[in-house]
Homo-oligomer: A and B are copies of this chain.
Amino acid sequence: MIHSVYRAPGEQTRFDLKPEEIGAALQQPGGLLWVDLAGESAEDSRSLLRETFGFHPLAVDDALEESHVPKVDDWGEYLYLVLHAVVFDLKADEPLHTHELDLFLGKNYLVTYRTEPIPAVDRTWAACQRDERHLQKGVGRLLYKVIDELVADYMPAVEAMDEAIDGIEDEVFGQPGPTLLASIFTLKRALLHLRRIIAPQREVLNKLARGDFGVLDEGDRVFFRDVYDHLVRLYDISEGLRDLVGGALDTYLSVVSNRMNEVMRTLTVITILFLPVSFLVGFFGTNFFQPVASLTAWTDRPAFVLMLLAMVVVPAGMFLWIRKRAWM
């Protein structure tokens, strides 16, 4: 669907302009036009972007054809931006997804293009419908509004991951198992993904905040710096979370190794205590001491007492030796 909103200077805001009206609006320097292409077919979008707006074919291909890392390209008359909205669902197999948002920004217009739903854009649209002032402050402030909403959606995702790691840390000293391991690795992957999309977006905002581009007003720089600070902080937090997840994995492996150690110690102790005495009773179970051989002295009372004694003394000695080796 193609949505559009246009505010000419001194006139009332108009919605859903016809294609020829869009062309006319572009000619008027003082107004502000926002065209939002949401899930529109590639051909329709291409013709609009190429013919009505006159964007460079390479820029249009970038927008329509494939997914990109976040970036900003300066085409002189306009900027082309790629940003990513984040979709997070801890329950899912792959908890973190991103939806690409392509933006074209001219002196008096903003074009947003997306193939998947991005609530941040919808929220900004709704805000513009409710309150015209969002359109009065110029295209830079409108862009800021869109990006600010986009970035605001990152925090709940980061917080959910933080909580998940807290849960893992509590569990890891308790009952470590394959499920816990799987969720550690899922979180690790999600954090890698998150960092990989935050880092280039931070760079994009840094460029906007430095005022590298002629299309944007000098005065709007502080707003982009504000979002840039947000992204710096998000990156910082996600770095911290990555370290925590790494630590949780190390803890997990250490706890498992510890527990294995304890298990093996027990096995060894039991074996050391019982194998010698089992041999002893096996010895006295041989048939040498039966009618055939006249070795009856070996199976008389004193021998029995001796064996009973050995069955106490041998394990006790073994146990003391184990204690000296400091296993238990």
Interface positions of A (Cβ within 8 A of B): 56, 58, 62, 68-69, 71, 73, 173, 175, 177-178, 181-182, 185, 188-189, 192-193, 196, 222-223, 225-226, 229, 232-233, 236, 239-240, 243-244, 247, 249-268, 270-272, 274-279, 281-293, 295-296, 299-301, 303-304, 307, 311, 325-327
A-B pairs with the 10 shortest C-beta distances? A284-B286, A281-B282, A267-B268, A287-B289, A274-B275, A285-B285, A292-B296, A288-B304, A281-B283, A287-B299
A163 to B225, CA, bound (A): 39
Q: Is the interface of A mostly helix, strand, loop or mixed?
A: helix
A58 touches which one: B58, B226, B272 (CB < 8 A)? B226
A257 touches which one: B68, B226, B256, B272 (CB < 8 A)? B256
Query: By the criterion CB–CB under 8 Å, are A222 and B58 in contact?
Result: yes
**Residues of B contacting A175 in the complex (Cβ-Cβ under 8 angstroms):** 326
**Residues of B contacting A250 in the complex (Cβ-Cβ under 8 angstroms):** 185, 249
**Residues of B contacting A291 in the complex (Cβ-Cβ under 8 angstroms):** 291
**Residues of B contacting A239 in the complex (Cβ-Cβ under 8 angstroms):** 196
Query: By the criterion CB–CB under 8 Å, are B274 and A279 in contact?
Result: yes
Query: By the criterion CB–CB under 8 Å, are B286 and A293 in contact?
Result: no
Q: Which residue of B lies closest to A66 (CB)?
A: B233
Q: Please give the distance in Å from A241's CB to the nearest CB on chain B.
A: 11
Known pairs A178-B255, A196-B239, A266-B268; list 11 more (Cβ under 8 Å). A189-B244, A192-B244, A256-B257, A259-B327, A270-B276, A282-B282, A284-B286, A284-B287, A288-B303, A290-B290, A293-B300
A277 to B239, CA, bound (A): 55
**Residues of B contacting A262 in the complex (Cβ-Cβ under 8 angstroms):** 325
Query: By the criterion CB–CB under 8 Å, are A292 and B300 in contact?
Result: yes
Query: By the criterion CB–CB under 8 Å, are A247 and B188 in contact?
Result: yes
Query: By the criterion CB–CB under 8 Å, are B69 and A247 in contact?
Result: no
